[in-house]
Amino acid sequence: MSGDRLLYDYWRSSAAYRVRIVLNLKGLEYEQKSINLAAGAQSGVGFKMLNPHGRVPYLIDGDTGLNQSLAICEYLEERHPEPSILPGDAARRGHIRAAAQIIACDVHPLNNISVLRYLKNDLSQEEDALNAWYHHWIDTGLRPLEELASASKGPYLFGDTVTLADVCLSPQMYNARRFRMNLEPYPALVEMDKRLMQLDAFQAARPEAQEDAS
């Protein structure tokens, strides 16, 4: 079965990390092909022919090839509804998607590798400016999520079950640590992330557990 499912991946990609978590949560086997983003492999002809967007993750599932992590996660949810990462009624699912999108749409795109390279190489920004930029946009996303985490009646962002919002949270927390962000202002998120990282699906998806980790 895993022969039918191939994830174009990179150990440090937080967008690919989300997809790895969902595949693991749903117990779906998959093979991985590493696209070395640090070496620029995302711009290689072979990968660009497959995925003109030139970014990971990219999932091949049988006859289907898909990019965009949230689209992939929702595709997997529709194909394999249990356990659900979008539980509840339309309103609840809307809230879960909104929290996930704070990270995936409002924070992550501003801190992506190509954006940071553009700031550095084309706009001649120094390391300090890059760090200030990076931390600023993470903070704008983590603040409202900290409120959500504090108000949650369960161990995860939306109560007792792991949802798409948690799937986006842990990779973002990993990323923030990697760029030495001070996480003291977000104690509820730090605790929530610790609980999430105790789950097998999250452990197996963490960057250092990937074969291409260096």
Ligand X SMILES: N[C@@H](CCC(=O)N[C@@H](CS)C(=O)NCC(=O)O)C(=O)O
Distance CA 169, CA 104 (A): 9
Show contacts with ligand X in window 21-60 (CB under 6 A): 37, 42, 55-57
Task: Report the alpha-carbon angle 120-104-141, nearest 5.
Answer: 80
* 161, amino acid identity: T
Of 107-115, 157-165, 188-196, 197-205, the window that binds ligand X (rule: CB under 6 A) is: 107-115
Answer for which of 24, 51, 68, 210 binds ligand X (CB under 6 A) is: 68
Answer for which of 66, 110, 113, 190 binds ligand X (CB under 6 A) is: 113
* 82, amino acid identity: E
Show contacts with ligand X in window 155-184 (CB under 6 A): none
Distance CA 67, CA 71 (A): 7
> What is the DSSP code (8-state) at residue 10?
-
- Is residue 13 within the footprint of ligand X (CB under 6 A)? yes
Say if residues 145 and 172 touch (Cβ distance below 8 Å): no
Q: Which residues bind ligand X (CB under 6 A)?
A: 13-15, 37, 42, 55-57, 68-70, 104, 112-114
